[in-house]
Amino acid sequence: MSVFSSNLQAVRQRVAKAAIAAGREPRSVRIIAVSKTFGAQAIAALSSTGQCDFGENYLQEALPKMALAKEEASARGVAPFVWHMIGPLQSNKTRLVAEHFDWVHTVERIKIAERLSEQRPAHFAPLEVCIQVNISAEATKSGVLPEALPELVLAVAVLPRIRLRGLMAIPRPGDASAFGRLAALRDSLRAEHADLTELSMGMSADLEDAIAKGATMVRVGTAIFGARGGATLERAPSSDPQDS
């Protein structure tokens, strides 16, 4: 597992350097280790280094792995996990997400937000959510278009048992101004929505650019775990047909 720990340390150094260059505190940027296709042992090993935020794309893969990772972490005596759903979310999967995750980054429709609100257990802390914005207006990409964002924010912000925290985007490659546009959208809404502080943007290849434009969360998979198709320690079997 030392290779994963070394990779994580290198990512932490990249994040710190980028934050300092932007005049920010390194701790203002949260690293979400995207653990799809990797198993509980890999996750627990990283948690031993202080990593607590993990992102999953596919619910059917995530749930059994999350339970095993909790057991592994408990045995190691490390801090609890914070689980982030970062993949597309279908209506028939909202209950399990509401019951098992701490964050959802991919809310793009009021129906999804309403179901998460209704299905979040009352004794749990509010589910933290980000609205996914189709910042590059790509026909094949999920997310609300920028012009429809204010209306969706108003509708989501008043729902009980969830807490609207920010915006998320996956820009089109080469769209150099996308991160700045997402930050500007967030800033334009904060006057009326004080909790809207988060920007979930930037991945392994472009986290420095995202941090320069204000990212508070970067979703990093390959730079920590390696290529998805390569040899790994304890790869998690996929039960989701979307996984590849």
Query: Domain total for the chain?
Result: 1
How confident is the model over 109-136, as pLDDT tens digits? 999 999 999 999 999 999 999 999 999 9
Mean pLDDT computed over every residue of the chain = 91
Answer yes or no: is 241 within a domain: no
d(CA 172, CA 149) in angstroms, rounded, equals: 18
Taking only Cα atoms into account, the Rg of the chain, rounded to an integer number of angstroms, comes to 17
Answer yes or no: is 237 within a domain: no
d(CA 153, CA 215) in angstroms, rounded, equals: 19
pLDDT at residue 140, as a whole number: 92
How confident is the model over 132-162, as pLDDT tens digits? 999 999 999 999 999 999 999 999 999 999 9
Answer yes or no: is 127 within a domain: yes
Q: Which domain holds residue 197?
A: 2-225
